[in-house]
Chains A and B, each alone.
Chain A
Amino acid sequence: MLTIPDFQQLSEQVSSCSRADVHQALQAPHPGLQGLAALLSPAASAMLPELARRSAAITAQRFGRTIQLYAPVYLSSFCTNRCAYCGFAADNTMDRRVLTMAEAEKEMDILHERGFNHILLVSGEAPAKMGVDYLAELARRTRDRFASITIEVQPLSTAEYARLFVAGITGVAVYQETYDRRTYDQVHLSGKKCDYDFRLASPDRVAQAGMREVGIGALLGLTDWRCEGMALGLHLAWLRKHFWRTALTVSFPRLCPAEGDFQPLTTVTEKDLSQLLFALRIYDPDVGLLLSTREEERFRTGMIGLGPTRYSAGSCTAPGGYAHPELEGEQFAVGDQRTLTEVCASIQAKGHDPVRKDWDSTFQKGF
């Protein structure tokens, strides 16, 4: 079982790194965890251009000049958890919706028409409203139309993941939110999500079930992002060692201060996010790095080619929001409102190919 060191210890490891350590990590073929600590350190914050350069070179070599595109489909805003940072938290008064099968298919059809082939299905944790049966049925109905369908829903059992894989789901994202136990307990007020260890072991179960890909991530703005970076590095190394058949991705959901919403416990700037992303790229050349529409257009355009490999586009975070843009009840406000076409144009303008299809449902047929 993976164990994450105390954040105090990680913090000391990171902050003790010198400029020389950063130089060494930038040149090492395999920087390792000690190298990652250097790349995440305050010393490296002053060397962001060097990190960007190395990250860009590694990304180009491993992934080419391409960015893959995907879009989320929010299926349900019902949730039995109370997470301090989330718009779907059980104690938020809001009109909640769960899409009917027909409505969900309609949302996916709209995205398909807009040119999306990679779909991420998202839902709050309320198994009575949105369970494995629903996801399996939706995948079965839509799998032929899409290159890949991944999910970001409540953690499931190995058997449930295996069932969804057979139904046509290719990958699963389960973000730990924070790897710091103390903070985790502080922001997860009630619900099944309070179980840190069950959540931490979820990517293991996803991989054991045979999924092609597992996504991990930390919500930025809860605690020291440098330590979260170390924990993400440890988690990646663990998954690589134990589940070598599974491709890995990391997401970087960043909390921004907003009127009336949950105020981040700590500020993570765009510079911080960039450093985290560059550091993980240099540490793990093969990991897929996602940059969602939480971030603004200016930042997303600037980051093209420097490390991220996947962008979402044209996202709506309210269930049913593609068919009915007037609907409210979003999980969070998006920072980049552009359409898929506009995002693709900006990727091309920076000399990269916006890839809309990079998988095929045939791979999972015949199960």
Chain B
Amino acid sequence: MLQIADKTFRSRLFGGTGKFASAQLMKEALAASGAEMITVALRRVDLTNPADDIMANLDRETYWFLPNTSGARNAEEAIRLANLARAVGNTNWLKLEITPDPRTLLPDPIETLKATELLVKDGFIVLPYMNADPILALRLQDVGAAAVMPLGSPIGTNQGVLTRFQVAIIIDQARVPVVVDAGLGAPSHAAAAMEMGADAVLVNTAIAVSGDPVRMARAFAQAVEAGRTAYEAGLGLQDNKAAASSPEVGLDFLR
């Protein structure tokens, strides 16, 4: 079981609510994904309106609601959104996204660290979206992030885990769960992240814009489970036959 802060999750696939052709399709796809944690863009929903198309289709008994600050350009804006989510959305969980460049939507490391520290002190459970920078992951963990969410590749690019080498270091060093977020375009990408030892992955675009979001959601669920099982079972090593079988190191100095 995956544990983040004081909450446990059976599913290691996190979902999103953006980019679906309809709220109904979103609902069916999320059900098929088996996801328990669902992130929702605060800018997209009207938390004060019970008939809001996304919130009305998101059963908060079934799904753990993770509001995100998508659109925030700096710490100040993100903190304002966080307070709105807590006041109206009745949760202190937050996926922190601070993306000053509207083109690449890459996260701002300095503002993210600043906002994480302030929000944690203010009692929020913060899951920051970040570039795959191992030192930043450690710094975010040190100021109290409940998990870290390094990107596999820029959001929406479907490129997979291009940051593989960095993500591997983050996984190796982190005390908090590592959720690979953004850029996972195919189930095999999600499986690869899970095989590396990621604690979970977040997938939205690849499911929402697929020709058949419901079946694609199921495919991602299977891939995440397969990747996790392979990681736990221990992958076979690539045999390095180039290594000499008779070592040349002399140990005759040993008595």
A-B contact number at CB 8 A: 43
In whole angstroms, how far apart are the Cα atoms of A56 and B251 in the complex? 12
Interface residue ranges of A29-59 to B (CB < 8 Å):
30, 48-50, 52-53, 56
A52 touching B138 by the CB < 8 A rule? no
- B48 an interface residue at 8 Å Cβ cutoff? no
Chain A residues in 8 Å Cβ range of B255? 269-271
Chain B 219-255, CB within 8 Å of chain A: the 1/0 string? Answer: 0000000000000000001011001000111011111
- Which of B172, B239, B249 is packed against the most chain A CB atoms within 10 Å? B249
Chain B residues in 8 Å Cβ range of A324? none
A27 touching B240 by the CB < 8 A rule? yes
Chain A residues in 8 Å Cβ range of B237? 24, 27-28
Chain B residues in 8 Å Cβ range of A240? 173
B254 touching A271 by the CB < 8 A rule? yes
A52 touching B247 by the CB < 8 A rule? yes
Of chain B, the residue at the smallest CB distance from A274 is B254
- A244 an interface residue at 8 Å Cβ cutoff? yes
B interface, by DSSP: helix, strand, loop or mixed?
loop
B251 touching A48 by the CB < 8 A rule? yes
B172 touching A27 by the CB < 8 A rule? no
Given contacts A244-B138, A269-B255, A298-B253, contact A50 B247 (CB under 8 A): yes
Chain B residues in 8 Å Cβ range of A50? 247
- A62 an interface residue at 8 Å Cβ cutoff? no
Chain B residues in 8 Å Cβ range of A52? 247, 249, 251
Chain A residues in 8 Å Cβ range of B247? 49-50, 52-53
- A262 an interface residue at 8 Å Cβ cutoff? no
Chain B residues in 8 Å Cβ range of A306? 249
- Which of B138, B173, B175, B243 is packed against the most chain A CB atoms within 10 Å? B243
In whole angstroms, how far apart are the Cα atoms of A302 and B255 in the complex? 11
A interface, by DSSP: helix, strand, loop or mixed?
helix
Given contacts A52-B247, A53-B247, contact A302 B173 (CB under 8 A): no
Q: Of the candidates B239, B240, B253, which one forms a contact with A299 in the assembled complex, judged by CB atoms under 8 Å apart? A: B253
Chain A 286-325, CB within 8 Å of chain B: the 1/0 string? Answer: 0000000000001101110010000000000000000000
In whole angstroms, how far apart are the Cα atoms of A306 and B247 in the complex? 12
Of chain A, the residue at the smallest CB distance from B253 is A302
In whole angstroms, how far apart are the Cα atoms of A301 and B138 in the complex? 39
Chain A residues in 8 Å Cβ range of B249? 49, 52-53, 56, 306
In whole angstroms, how far apart are the Cα atoms of A24 and B243 in the complex? 13
In whole angstroms, how far apart are the Cα atoms of A303 and B237 in the complex? 29
Chain A residues in 8 Å Cβ range of B251? 48-49, 52, 274, 302
Interface residue ranges of B90-116 to A (CB < 8 Å):
none
- Which of A24, A52, A301 is packed against the most chain B CB atoms within 10 Å? A52
Q: Give 26 A-B contacts (CB < 8 Å), ordered by A residue.
A: A27-B243, A28-B237, A30-B172, A48-B251, A48-B254, A49-B249, A52-B247, A53-B247, A56-B249, A240-B173, A241-B173, A241-B175, A242-B175, A244-B138, A244-B173, A269-B255, A271-B254, A271-B255, A274-B254, A298-B253, A299-B253, A302-B251, A302-B252, A302-B253, A302-B254, A306-B249
Residue ranges of B at the interface with A (Cβ–Cβ < 8 Å): 138, 172-173, 175, 237, 239-240, 243, 247-249, 251-255
Given A52-B249, A53-B247, A270-B255, 5 additional A-B pairs, CB 8 A: A28-B237, A49-B247, A53-B249, A56-B249, A306-B249
